[in-house]
Amino acid sequence: MSRNGSPAPRLPLPEGDIRPTFRRERRAINRGIAPVAGCDEAGRGPLAGPVVAAAVILDPARIPRGLDDSKKLTPETREKLYWKICASAQVAVAFAPPTRIDCDNIRQASLWALACAVRALPTRPRLVFVDGCDRIAVSCDCQAVIGGDGLVASIAAASIVAKVTRDRLMARLGLAHPGYGFERHMGYSVPEHFEALSKLGPTIHHRRSFAPVAELLGLIVSAEEPPPELPL
């Protein structure tokens, strides 16, 4: 509070000073709400491959050091943390394949995969923290945390598990489908991927509801082209 009684202005926090903590989980546990899970997904934006969701219940006594939003970590650091998480926590993963993404839309498919990951945990949690603004359909309390992968330790752990799992899967798809470069761009919209799509066409792992793939397949009519004439 400032001297004149008005609220003091909030100063911006320096970038990089905020790291995920176990505070939210600890508060719940201290109220007798346990176990607590965090969940996150990887792969909403790519043109190919599944969405991979992960759910993690951290052991309060064995929280790996260095947890952070997976996007802020190097591949090497993610791999090391992945093994530490799997060795010390309860972990489950689930996949939303391209067919489900095309049928439901990316948002609904991602929420479905997140719920599946939570249900696959060895122990049923009493509280779930999920990254983003959407809660998921689970049989326990669920709290959505915007930017949760950078704030909540269990969500950060889930983001790492989801990212590493998906990257490994895309690397295998790169071997199965040479020429697309999946092992390098992980299915994202990069020039190399667009070039491969134009030369080789889409695989069964491409999302046909995503505009670049749909346009290639002729499923979207360009705004510059007149609509086809329908028979009377």
Q: How open is the CA angle 187-148-51, to the nearest 5 degrees?
A: 25
pLDDT category at 148 given cuts 50, 70, 90 is very high
* Helix-strand-coil split of the chain, %, nearest 5: 40, 15, 45
Supply the pLDDT for residue 222. Answer: 43
**pLDDT over 80 (residue 3):** no
What span, in angstroms and rounded, lies between the C-alpha atoms of 24 and 127? 11
**What is the average per-residue pLDDT within 56-78?**
96
**What is the average per-residue pLDDT within 45-51?**
97
**What is the average per-residue pLDDT within 220-232?**
45
**What is the average per-residue pLDDT within 4-23?**
57
pTM of structure: 0.85
* Distance set, CA 54 to CA 30, 116, 207, 221, 224 (Å): 25, 9, 21, 37, 42
Give, for 97, the enclosing helix (H) or strand (E). Answer: none
Unique residue bearing structure tokens 């092992």:
183
- Domain coordinates of the chain in residue numbers? 23-171
Query: Domain 23-171 is in which class?
Result: alpha beta
pLDDT category at 18 given cuts 50, 70, 90 is low
**pLDDT over 50 (residue 23):** yes
Which amino acid, 2? S
Q: What tokens were used for 142?
A: 């669920």
